[in-house]
Amino acid sequence: MTCYDLHSHSTASDGSLTPEALIARAIEHNVEVLALTDHDGTEGIEAAKKAAQGTDLDLIAGVELSVTWGSKTVHIVGLGIDIKNQQLQQGLTKLRDYRVGRAEEIAKRLAKAGIEGALDGARKYASDVMLGRLHFAQFLVEQGLAKDNNDVFKRYLVRNKPGYVPGQWASLEDAMSWINAAGGQAVIAHPARYKMTATKLRRLSTEFKEMGGAALEVVSGRQHPEEIKTLARLTEKLELMASRGSDFHTPDNSWVELGRLAPLPENVTPIWSTW
Ligand code: AMP
Ligand code: MN
Ligand code: MN
Ligand code: MN
């Protein structure tokens, strides 16, 4: 059975491996089809494609778009996208520009809480293309203000904490139109992580499907078997397909590894059945 891992990050967003090192690690871990899905940008794709050339690994061009749906931030993965598509790139530019202003705002709020220099501190951990909360987390850990990234998020970067800035990302409609314009297939990333009620998740998935959405990420890194079952049932009900992706960011997190995740349940339609 072919090993698919359709969700991963590189230094082109908040991953710690370069695209080349990511490809090498994927091959080591017997991944046969890997999608590189950096947040709000495709800068890593060319290098990843090159690194995969002449190997047994198939590299799928992907992206993970930040979306605001109601009061929630939701992530939509686009798979098999044409990274040269103008409409997609214009959308990505908007998201990247928004990230810069948001980072400044996060730094301002942290400064008010007595933490100076967070913007430059976070930038040290980021490539010049994308600045995210994980980069702030790395700075705050470095400063000894928290014990690990997870601890930073809990204490500084989420709702009701000093460095929290409510996201104002793309609308679901816009994100879907960019992925569709670029000829990609859209996947709702890690659906269980949004802490939505079943009703709400069903509403999101229904809207998503009506906008041309293809699949739910039924198996994602570090996920409970019960969640897999629930998501599998939802794909059946709504006639969506299923995707599988680790959401790998770094070798430092021993919980999440490339290709190391449960298989898709028998009763779903894998997104790769259309490939
Ligand atoms: P952003 O898109 O800049 O708001 O950052 C979101 C990213 O932060 C996610 O893709 C994860 O990589 C990371 N993240 C979110 N929550 C946590 C957490 N509790 N612990 C570690 N990393 C997290
Ligand atoms: Mn991330
Ligand atoms: Mn995500
Ligand atoms: Mn991700």
CATH number assigned to the domain comprising residue 81 = 3.20.20.140
Looking at residue 196, the DSSP 8-state letter turns out to be -
Whether 230 is covered by a domain: the verdict is: yes
Tokens representing 136 are 């702030």
Distance of alpha carbon 96 from alpha carbon 131, whole angstroms: 8
Whether 168 is covered by a domain: the verdict is: no
Residue owning the nearest CA to atom 9 of ligand 1: 134
Distance of alpha carbon 165 from alpha carbon 40, whole angstroms: 18
Q: Give me the tens of pLDDT residue by residue for the chain, a chain 275 residues long.
A: 899 999 999 999 999 999 999 999 999 999 999 999 999 999 999 999 999 999 999 999 999 999 999 999 999 999 999 999 999 999 999 999 999 999 999 999 999 999 999 999 999 999 888 999 999 999 999 999 999 999 999 999 999 999 999 999 999 999 999 999 999 999 999 999 999 999 999 999 999 999 999 999 999 988 899 999 999 999 999 999 999 999 999 999 999 999 999 999 999 999 999 99
Whether 164 is covered by a domain: the verdict is: no
38 CA distance to ligand 2 centroid (A)?
A: 8
The response to whether residue 150 sits with its C-beta less than 6 Å from ligand 1 reads yes
Residue owning the nearest CA to atom 18 of ligand 1: 150
The shares of helix, strand and coil residues in the chain, as percent rounded to the nearest 5, are 40, 15, 40
The response to whether residue 16 sits with its C-beta less than 6 Å from ligand 1 reads no
141 CA distance to ligand 1 centroid (A)?
A: 14
Distance of alpha carbon 175 from alpha carbon 259, whole angstroms: 27
Whether 177 is covered by a domain: the verdict is: no
Residue type, position 241, single letter: M
CB 259 within 8 A of CB 246: yes
Distance of alpha carbon 145 from alpha carbon 213, whole angstroms: 41
Distance of alpha carbon 54 from alpha carbon 40, whole angstroms: 28
Residue of 7, 3, 8, 49 lying closest to 249 (CA atoms) = 8
Whether 124 is covered by a domain: the verdict is: no
188 CA distance to ligand 2 centroid (A)?
A: 15
The response to whether residue 249 sits with its C-beta less than 6 Å from ligand 1 reads yes
Bridge partners (DSSP) of residue 185 are: 79
Distance of alpha carbon 130 from alpha carbon 139, whole angstroms: 15
Distance of alpha carbon 76 from alpha carbon 9, whole angstroms: 14
Distances (CA, A) of 262 to 38, 197, 246: 22, 24, 10
pLDDT in the model for residue 211: 98
Distances (CA, A) of 174 to 99, 168, 200, 230, 238: 17, 13, 20, 28, 22
CB 126 within 8 A of CB 15: no
Whether 255 is covered by a domain: the verdict is: yes
- C-alpha angle with apex 160: 207 to 150, nearest 5 degrees? 80
Atom of ligand 1 nearest to the CA of 66: 2
48 CA distance to ligand 1 centroid (A)?
A: 23
Count CB-CB contacts under 10 A for residue 267: 11
CB 235 within 8 A of CB 269: yes
pLDDT in the model for residue 203: 98
Distances (CA, A) of 11 to 7, 132, 205, 254: 14, 11, 30, 18
Whether 159 is covered by a domain: the verdict is: no
9 CA distance to ligand 3 centroid (A)?
A: 10
161 CA distance to ligand 3 centroid (A)?
A: 20
For 217, the domain range is 4-91+184-274
Whether 146 is covered by a domain: the verdict is: no
Residue owning the nearest CA to atom 14 of ligand 1: 134
Residue owning the nearest CA to atom 3 of ligand 1: 132
Distance of alpha carbon 257 from alpha carbon 83, whole angstroms: 26
As for how many domains the chain has, the answer is 1
pLDDT in the model for residue 127: 87
Task: State which of 100, 134, 138, 152 you would mutate to test the pocket of ligand 1, scoring each by most atoms of that ligand within 8 A of its C-beta.
Answer: 134
Residue of 158, 111, 106 lying closest to 150 (CA atoms) = 158
